[in-house]
Amino acid sequence: MSYSLDFSVVVARLPELLLACLATIGLSLAGMSLATVIGVLGVIARRSRFRLLRGLVIGFVELIRNTPFLVQIFFIFFALPQLGLRLNPTVTAIIALGLNGGAYAIEIIRGGVDAIPKGQVEAGLALGLHRAQIFRHIILKPALRTVYPSLTSQFVMLTLTTSVCTSIAAYELTSVAQKIEADTFRSFEVYFSITILYLIISSLMMGIFALISRFSFNYPVK
């Protein structure tokens, strides 16, 4: 093999890469927040009395889960401007990640809600609480606790999916790496380095999730 490794270019541009890592983490956190909101609201709508609302949620989930993320983000970035809605790459990325993650979150959280024993709802009703109060105060937290492992692994997936946002030139780790590679032709060094950086970011996310779990779901169960 005649290719000799030279990581000095990577070292020289490490500040750029680290800054891009922060951008990736930022996109991920924003995407997850939006996905969580969509997930919870989607589950509420999915349980609504109104058939139209339930149908819309089902349609949304099927649409998102059965089309590629790349096409979804292209649609928002390139197709919506034709209808007069022009968004910058970062906002587009957050919306695309949030919608995509949200569709999966709806299905995951719904599973947790369905697993709540009927007696919990009945106890709430017998105490005079209304459906919305029961969902908010009785169902939501235990349901999220039940599905927390699936939800967070979905969110790690979302974090890694931020790399696809390179395709609309959003500012994040992979797009910065591409630029450095184009400048230096050090493909191996650059992609090896960001592979390690993604690994670190994922581990960091899992650490944060574990911490959140320790503080939010610390009540004992039998």
Partner 1 sequence: MPQSAAAQVPLIALEGVGKWYGAYHALKNINLTVKKGEKIVLCGPSGSGKSTLIRCINHLEETQEGNITVEGTTLSDSSRSIDAVRREVGMVFQSFNLFPHKTIMENCTLAPMRVKGVSKAEAEATARKYLERVRILDQADKYPAQLSGGQQQRAAIARALCMEPKAMLFDEPTSALDPEMVKEVLDTMIGLARDGMTMICVTHEMGFARQVADRVVFMASGEIIEEGPPETFFSNPQHQRTRTFLGEILAHH
222 binds partner 1 (CB under 8 A): yes
Return the number of the residue (145 or 179) whose C-beta is nearest partner 1. Answer: 145
137 binds partner 1 (CB under 8 A): yes
In the complex, least distance from residue 130 CB atom to partner 1, rounded to whole angstroms? 8
Tokens 């949304």 sit at which residue?
Answer: 60
Distances (CA, A) of 204 to 22, 113, 208, 222: 12, 28, 6, 30
In the complex, least distance from residue 119 CB atom to partner 1, rounded to whole angstroms? 4
Burial of 174 (0-12, 13-18, 19+ CB in 10 A): buried
| 31 neighbors 163 (Cβ within 8 angstroms) | no
Residues 105-124 that bind partner 1 (CB under 8 A): 117, 119-120, 122-124
138 binds partner 1 (CB under 8 A): yes
Return the number of the residue (7 or 217) whose C-beta is nearest partner 1. Answer: 217
- Of the ranges 8-16, 65-73, 130-138, 168-176, which one interacts with partner 1 (CB under 8 A)? 130-138
**How many Å from the N-terminal Cα to the C-terminal Cα in the chain?**
59
Return the number of the residue (20 or 140) whose C-beta is nearest partner 1. Answer: 140
137-159 core/surface letters (b: 16 or more CB in 10 A; e: else) = ebbbebbbbbbbebbbebbbebb
Interface residue list for partner 1 (CB under 8 A): 117, 119-120, 122-129, 133, 137-138, 141-142, 145, 217, 219-222
